[in-house]
Structure 1
Amino acid sequence: MTDASHGWTALVLAGQRPGVDPVAAQFGIEAKALVPVAGELMLNRVLMALADAPEIARIVVLAQNAAELLRHPDLAWAAAEPRITARTSGPTISGSVRDAVRDPAIGLPVLVTTADNVMLTPATIAEFIAGAGGSDVSVAMVERARLEAAVGPNRRTWLTFRGGSYTGANLFALNAPAAINALRFWERVEQDRKSVLRLAAHFGPALMLKLLLRRMTLHEALAAAGRKLGASAAPVLLSDGRMGVDVDKVEDHALAERLLKGPR
């Protein structure tokens, strides 16, 4: 077991966005985090991966009903694990993460992930943290060719830059106090997270034009965005192509079940 006085804190975003979640509705379960995938609750899979990662010292489940989630019978082990706690989230994801980071009981560095990040493994956590040391904010990404080699052609939100297309992996590292600047900005633009063009518009016309013309690599784009935010930012490209798969849609759930039940 990791010494809780050292290491990273993991924040697991397990709350609900406004409106009806299609995955939760499909299975008749109120909380998406409690939907089973390949026989295991999504939240349980993520918590197990984090608990087994020696880099993670403590885990905070962040949701509107976080304490209630941990009362699920399948999560009895997590409720009894002293490294795992529940925290009630606020009205926005970024604001909730910012408030958690500013809490002296949590502090930095912080790894942020989501309850539907069901492909997460201790090996990927180690790889990501090893690559995240040099920037205030690090963002896990998966290259399109690597994802399609692992899971086949797939409909994702692809962000295309000079040199390739990428999708996010629902894994972020906040390494330094300057990361709070990025969280404040993200709170303002969260609704545009699925569109690189709408996101770019928040950074001004020069950056938007470069992105439209694909004149920037992924690394250059994140570095430029970081300069606007007052926090250095860089991607970490993951080797496991499956990490580009989360469970946003019902078809994602079917894909995740196939991947988790099949041979590695």
Structure 2
Amino acid sequence: MNNSPQVLVLAGQRAGVADPLCEAFNVTYKVETQLIGKPMIKWVAEALDAAELKRPFIVSGYPALSEGWSIAASGDGPADSALLALKDASFPCLMTTGDHPLLTADILRFFIEASQKTGADFCVGLADEQTIQSAYPETKRTYLRFSDTAVSGCNLFYIANSQGLAALEFWREAQHLRKKPLQLARKVGIGLGIRYAAGRLSISQAFDEAGKKIGIKASPVLLPYAEAAIDVDKVSDHDVVEKILLSRFNS
């Protein structure tokens, strides 16, 4: 595609933490979990290629790829891994994960083009609850409930320039405070947290104010694809995703 961004695929897993998919399917790395006879990360790579995104792709935390990939070490969590991988990268950059086998060229193109139109430094791909539940009522997702919509993350991020890395820096610091709610609330902004809890914070307000706090323009990108919000974190996800992939072949 024209103006193809650099691609980063996060494929690591936390050291010392047993991954349920590794245990269930007897694989060393979660992204090696097979779906219809193909590792998850291969499905991701095929979608990236179908969208005509330029190689080499950067992969963080998974050393078993070679041709067409640039291998980067993983850090302590996804934000740290991303910052390490993007230290010398070019921009813009599309970031996704290796456990997202339902990605398609259409999803990727839509997200990239919509992100570019926002003019933001950092964009986050999201799908709303109605889109997801109307297509796949059996899937269980975690939703952020704003005053105007409820959304689930799609593991898609667009970093337009080096200023956008400030969002990853903020994410990294917030991760370390996840067990210290008072400190986390102060970092995010207590007023913002109170308005969210009271159901008085819209999605655009949340991104506008969070962006101002870290000195960038941040924007949500709502995707009209339910599949964009379905990754594979557990065995039940694996079963749902495999059925969806099989239905694509049978349609």
TM norm structure 2: 0.89
Q: What is aligned with 1:124?
A: 107
Note if 1:154 corresponds to 2:139. Answer: yes
The worse-fitting range, judged by mean Cα deviation, of 11-20 and 47-56 is 47-56
CA distance in 1 between counterparts of 2:175 and 2:204 reads 21
What is the one-letter code of the residue matched to 1:132? S
Q: What is aligned with 2:67?
A: 80
Q: What is aligned with 2:215?
A: 230
- Structure 1 residue 121 displacement after superposition: 0.7
Q: What is aligned with 2:44?
A: 46
| Local SS of the residue matching 2:86 | helix
Note if 1:37 corresponds to 2:20. Answer: no
* Pair 102,145 (structure 1): closer, same or farther in 2 beyond 3 Å: same
Identity percentage of aligned residues: 31
What is the one-letter code of the residue matched to 1:147? I
Indicate which of 213, 224, 227 corresponds to 1:242: 227
| Local SS of the residue matching 2:173 | helix
CA distance in 1 between counterparts of 2:129 and 2:182 reads 19
- Structure 1 residue 178 displacement after superposition: 1.4
Note if 1:183 corresponds to 2:168. Answer: yes
What is the one-letter code of the residue matched to 2:25? F
Is the contact made by 2:146 and 2:203 (CA closer than 8 Å) also made in structure 1?
Answer: yes
Note if 1:112 corresponds to 2:95. Answer: yes
Indicate which of 8, 11, 24 corresponds to 2:5: 8
What is the one-letter code of the residue matched to 1:80? E
RMSD: 2.2
Instruction: Report Cα offsets for 1:64-118 as digits up to 9, x if no partner.
Output: xx33x21xxxxxxxx333xx22222233321221233231xx2211111000011
What is the one-letter code of the residue matched to 1:135? A
- Structure 1 residue 200 displacement after superposition: 5.3
CA distance in 1 between counterparts of 2:133 and 2:183 reads 26
CA distance in 1 between counterparts of 2:239 and 2:218 reads 33
Unaligned runs of 5+ in 1: 71-78
Indicate which of 151, 159, 166 corresponds to 2:151: 166
What is the one-letter code of the residue matched to 1:50? L
* Pair 249,192 (structure 1): closer, same or farther in 2 beyond 3 Å: farther
Note if 1:89 corresponds to 2:68. Answer: no
Is the contact made by 1:7 and 1:57 (CA closer than 8 Å) also made in structure 2?
Answer: no
* Pair 113,216 (structure 1): closer, same or farther in 2 beyond 3 Å: same
- Structure 1 residue 174 displacement after superposition: 0.5
Unaligned runs of 5+ in 2: none
What is the one-letter code of the residue matched to 2:111? F
| Local SS of the residue matching 1:120 | coil
